[in-house]
Amino acid sequence: MTALPLRIPYGVADFIKLRQGHEYYVDKTGYLPLLESSGRFLFLIRPRRFGKSLLQSMMECYYDGEWVKQFDELFADTWIADHPTPEKGQYLTLRFDFSMVNTLHGLEASFDAHVRLRIEDMLKRHAERIPAAEAAAILAESNSYQQLQRLSIVLAQHELQLYLFIDEYDNFANNLLVNQGEAAYRELTHGGGFFKSFFALLKGTAGGTHGGLARLFITGVSPLTLDDVTSGFNIGKNISLDARFNGLLGFNHAEMDGLFQAFGQDFAAHRDIIDDWYNHYHFHKARQESIINSDMALYYLQSLVEAGAPPDELIDHNVRIDYGKLRHLVQIDRQLNGNFSRLREIIETGEQVSPVHVSFPVEGLLRLENFISLLYYLGLLTFAGEREGRPLLKIPNRTVQQLMYSYLREAYRDADVFKPNTWDLADKLNHMAYRGEWAPFFDSLSVQIGEQASIRDYLQGEKMIQGFLLAWLNLSPYFTVWSEQEQGGGFVDLYLAPFYFRYPDMRHAYLIELKYMNRSEDSPARRRKLLTEARSQLRRYAGDARVREALGAAHLHALVLLYSGWELVKREEVDIHKPLF
């Protein structure tokens, strides 16, 4: 019989479908003994699209007394097949996926229905273990809370153990926070809200003598909700910052090499671009190994196999959608508060020195260290070493960088601060990239700033101007953009090199030196001095090896942009071949 061709498991979160569908599996079963020994009640936070759902599905199949009957088929050629643990198939498993709860219409009813359906499915799967009369009594209860209570009692009476999985535990609560505001969120997670009551029940069941809940594994993207509903998750252990689980989700280079080989591809030929756009996540400050976002890696590989070339758009549309939802968490109740300024500063510098807190409530988001921690958990920052004894966090890759530029643009728009004609700017950015027509882009942006007074308060200072320009220069990814901060100082303010990987026919690159003066200090003499400095700097920077290395066949334009407050008062192209003196 001819063997079925392997399939790329892009978007597949069901372990049974993956294994029975002959899809490639990056084996994570070697972590099961470590998870078992780490505690009975575990909590793991990872960014979106890192494989949390598939991990839970795999664990369900391994620990469930019914699914394990297919062990040889489902776990063939995995690590755990040769090293099974005593807990294999020893549980009744129950799994909730709170991303399936509807936040727009009848939230509590939708939550109740989801829990009841999952309980019903579990009872049918384990009909041999739970007597029919007792299963019927559980299902006859009027709501999911009472069903869970009765289920726990029945399990204890029959000396059965439950392994409960909760996937995306914070999904609908976060959606409620961003769509309806903090008041609606607090009603859900504080006082007598049904969600708080649900976690209180789990807490009581887990702590009860001979209780039915033996193990609990919860995953999500932020610690906000669990802190609010369980007083800091004091029923279990948070393994999110445990160095041993750095590689539990996502792929390392060795796993990527095996994945690419399985489909006849050479990972080494694509490693640089994949690292630049999808890699450099570290989930512990020791940074033992760098982790690649698994969804984005599979998206890239799928295009290689199906189209014979990398994807035209390096950022998966689904990733844009998922991460686009997260931007609202930095903008509570649609107001540009202090956290917006912090986000803008991070975008400008690409880094932040701060500890990462294990948990914090939503009302603590305005505290700098909590907000920075949230950005870390969402995958917008990652561990990058230490500076003066404190953790250094950086934007991990160009995908996240592009997403954060879009956050900045959309935040201005959502708050009615700045709503430019993006089609016009994108068109002029295209002409800047392909025709060397740079002045229309900056002129158009300046005109639109002049017409929308609200934005001017946010454009005071050179760094603020620079961050604002970066957001719009990255409206389309024509350029690979480096700033002075990214190059460690002693470099031009902005260097826009052609992104040849995606646009091999581009022939224009830009060195941009920004000069800024307060409106109160604006004078002809001051302008002349700043322009002279900028011209000299650009001629010097044009010979930098970092510039020449990325330039290729492109023509290098050296630009001076002189701002008086928010207003662009002078822009010119400098002849870089003219002598310095």
**Cα–Cα distance for residue pair 455/445, rounded to 1 Å:** 12
* End-of-domain residue from the set 199, 220, 245: 245
For β-strands 237-238 and 41-45, DSSP reports them as parallel
Residue 404 counted as domain residue: no
Cα dihedral 225→228→231→236 (10° resolution): -10
H-helix segments, 327-397: 338-349, 368-377
State the pLDDT confidence band at 410, using cuts at 50, 70 and 90: confident
List the domain range (segments joined by +) for residue 269: 253-314
Q: Locate 209 and state its tokens.
A: 């003598």
Residue 452 counted as domain residue: yes
State the pLDDT confidence band at 331, using cuts at 50, 70 and 90: low
Nearest to 380 by CA among 334, 328, 343: 343
> Are 203 and 107 found together in one domain?
yes
Task: Match 């307060």 to its residue by tokens.
Answer: 518
User: Minimum mean pLDDT among 69-73, 215-219, 447-451: which range?
Assistant: 447-451
Q: Locate 226 and state its tokens.
A: 């669990």
How high is the pLDDT of residue 333? 47
Task: Match 């017409």 to its residue by tokens.
Answer: 451
Kindly report, residue by residue over 500-510, the tens digit of the pLDDT.
Answer: 999 999 999 99
* End-of-domain residue from the set 190, 222, 245: 245
Whether the pLDDT of residue 391 is over 70: the answer is yes
> Are 87 and 193 found together in one domain?
yes
How high is the pLDDT of residue 474? 92
Residue 351 counted as domain residue: no
8-state DSSP, 453: G
* End-of-domain residue from the set 228, 245, 262: 245
Output the domain CATH number for residue 160: 3.40.50
Residue 405 counted as domain residue: no
> Are 238 and 157 found together in one domain?
yes
Q: What's the one-letter identity of residue 505?
A: D
> Are 161 and 277 found together in one domain?
no
Q: Locate 21 and state its tokens.
A: 């569908």
How high is the pLDDT of residue 1? 38
State the pLDDT confidence band at 400, using cuts at 50, 70 and 90: very high
Task: Match 């540009």 to its residue by tokens.
Answer: 336
Position with higher pLDDT, 414 vs 121: 121
Share of the chain above pLDDT 70, in %: 93
> Are 119 and 95 found together in one domain?
yes
**Cα–Cα distance for residue pair 148/290, rounded to 1 Å:** 41
| Mean pLDDT in residue range 121-147 | 96
Beta strands in 173-229 (DSSP E): 213-220
> Are 548 and 428 found together in one domain?
yes
Residue 71 counted as domain residue: yes
227: three-class secondary structure by DSSP: helix
Question: To the nearest whole number, what is the mean pLDDT of the chain?
Answer: 90
> Are 197 and 157 found together in one domain?
yes
pTM for this entry: 0.92
**Cα–Cα distance for residue pair 282/290, rounded to 1 Å:** 6
> Are 427 and 576 found together in one domain?
yes
**Is the Cβ–Cβ distance between 206 and 155 less than 8 Å?**
no
Whether the pLDDT of residue 334 is over 60: the answer is no
8-state DSSP, 4: P
Kindly report, residue by residue over 525-577, the tens digit of the pLDDT.
Answer: 999 999 999 999 999 999 888 899 999 999 999 999 999 999 999 999 999 87
Residue 199 counted as domain residue: yes
> Are 240 and 257 found together in one domain?
no
Residue 178 counted as domain residue: yes
Per the structure, the count of domains in the chain is 3
345: three-class secondary structure by DSSP: helix
Whether the pLDDT of residue 513 is over 60: the answer is yes
Task: Match 């990214």 to its residue by tokens.
Answer: 486
How high is the pLDDT of residue 337? 63
Task: Match 């599979």 to its residue by tokens.
Answer: 298
Whether the pLDDT of residue 412 is over 90: the answer is no
Whether the pLDDT of residue 232 is over 80: the answer is no
Residue 498 φ then ψ, to 5°? -60, 135
User: Minimum mean pLDDT among 30-39, 179-188, 561-570: which range?
Assistant: 179-188
> Are 186 and 259 found together in one domain?
no
**Cα–Cα distance for residue pair 472/445, rounded to 1 Å:** 9
Distances (CA, A) of 419 to 331, 412, 413, 471, 531: 17, 7, 5, 13, 31
> Are 193 and 284 found together in one domain?
no
